[in-house]
Chains A and B, each alone.
Chain A
């Protein structure tokens, strides 16, 4: 079986059915693009989770009284609280932030929104302990222990805020995968249809070839390859689209969130790492679909 023969047959077949070929490529492109987006979101979530796990989990906010009068946490109840926290076996680290430091931090975070900074005064911000736990999931224990103690205004679990954020991410991710799946089914059906049409259009020739003694494989390999070539082209376009969308849309629309450190951005390298998998998926799906179609639906 000669490569030049197969190559020319594949090209002829693709050209003969240009509209179907283009349709195949486009649907594959969209499916893989959506799959890629879903995977990117997963990656983003993972990265962001890593970052957050490294940071503070529980904040113990102190009363106005303590915040105003104990800038160094040298006196009780502040000192008392600090010791209690440090000695608690679930606590990894404790950091004290007094009112002034809190105000400074506030100005840093909201540097891009000066109106907010103008409104704030140091007296509005409480002093706090930033507490990092060994096991962030067990935060309720700490919260229960320290809520209501002398000097404590409130205890907040930061992971609760994050829960909302990650739920949002997960929702978008799931939706993207669902749409990707629907598109993939469409792509599959289109590939199957195109392979059948190709085989049907060439049936006279294939019949003659079979009479002369060509094997099924010899006559059908070109059709299979047509599907795979379209799949590969779709994958390449899909990856290109991913890069474009990342640059023009994600980086701009979510730029603010990335810059403030709320979510970790997706780098170009992330896309390039996932690209080979997308390519393999495309090849796999188009090859299997093509092969199954030929076995089941093409009689020769």
Chain B
């Protein structure tokens, strides 16, 4: 599903590589935590998968896409098959909850009937039935993140990328969000989540890939946040 082969990324403005000869393989249906301190390369890792950046060296494969070599005009297709969730939610602030979720379907050209049917279903899945016509600023942080997850999941993507999804949320809300992500993972969607949150990683005991200064220093199949902690 996801494969990085000897990937290095050096940004023009710095000498130290953001990623240094990283090789990681993630299979379909896995739930993987990507952990590491700030500057360790987590965000870069995710951005490469979305082709927001291109690696300086190495190859990246996502499903059937050769992300590095593919033509620029195919990038939207790649992104349509990946759902992403961010720490700052990234909702369209002048659209309602339903419109935000519908947008992901509009973008791939789904007909209006399909959208009208599917959006309420997925809103129910994330526990936001009844809030379809609210605007993002009227929702709590947890609710906004649910909308983001709904939008990410509505197309039944092959995988979900989450970049510190609980970063702006309190511990209880974070737990709820994690339960949601787990449920999504159980439907067969691969989930890759970058996080700082020790307690979440420790409580879920999933595969942990640890980055430090751009290199993979650990890859445990049932890991905890810190070794020996």
Task: Please list the residues of chain A having a beta carbon within 8 angstroms of any beta carbon in chain B.
Answer: 1-2, 5, 205, 208-216, 218
Please give, as numbers and ranges, the residues of chain A lying within 8 Å of B104 by CB-CB distance. 212-213
> Chain B residue with minimal CB distance to A218?
B107
The answer to whether B79 touches A213, judged by C-beta atoms less than 8 angstroms apart, is yes
The answer to whether A1 touches B109, judged by C-beta atoms less than 8 angstroms apart, is yes
What is the CB-to-nearest-CB distance from B62 to chain A, in angstroms, rounded to a whole number?
A: 13
The answer to whether B84 touches A215, judged by C-beta atoms less than 8 angstroms apart, is no
The answer to whether A214 touches B107, judged by C-beta atoms less than 8 angstroms apart, is yes
Q: Contacts A2-B106, A208-B92 given; 16 further ones with Cβ under 8 A?
A: A205-B92, A205-B94, A210-B76, A211-B52, A211-B90, A212-B84, A212-B103, A212-B151, A213-B76, A213-B77, A213-B80, A213-B108, A214-B76, A215-B73, A215-B76, A218-B107
Please give, as numbers and ranges, the residues of chain A lying within 8 Å of B79 by CB-CB distance. 210-213
> Chain A residue with minimal CB distance to B78?
A213
Cα distance, A18 to B51, chains bound together (Å): 36
The answer to whether B106 touches A213, judged by C-beta atoms less than 8 angstroms apart, is no
Please give, as numbers and ranges, the residues of chain B lying within 8 Å of A1 by CB-CB distance. 109
The answer to whether A208 touches B107, judged by C-beta atoms less than 8 angstroms apart, is no
Q: What are the 9 A-B residue pairs with the smallest beta carbon separation, nearest first?
A: A213-B80, A213-B79, A215-B76, A214-B107, A213-B76, A208-B90, A212-B104, A213-B107, A205-B92
Cα distance, A213 to B73, chains bound together (Å): 11
Cα distance, A2 to B78, chains bound together (Å): 21
Q: Any chain A CB within 8 A of the CB of B50? A: yes
Cα distance, A222 to B92, chains bound together (Å): 16
The answer to whether A209 touches B107, judged by C-beta atoms less than 8 angstroms apart, is yes
> Chain B residue with minimal CB distance to A5?
B106
> Chain A residue with minimal CB distance to B111?
A2
Please give, as numbers and ranges, the residues of chain B lying within 8 Å of A208 by CB-CB distance. 90-92
Please give, as numbers and ranges, the residues of chain B lying within 8 Å of A218 by CB-CB distance. 107
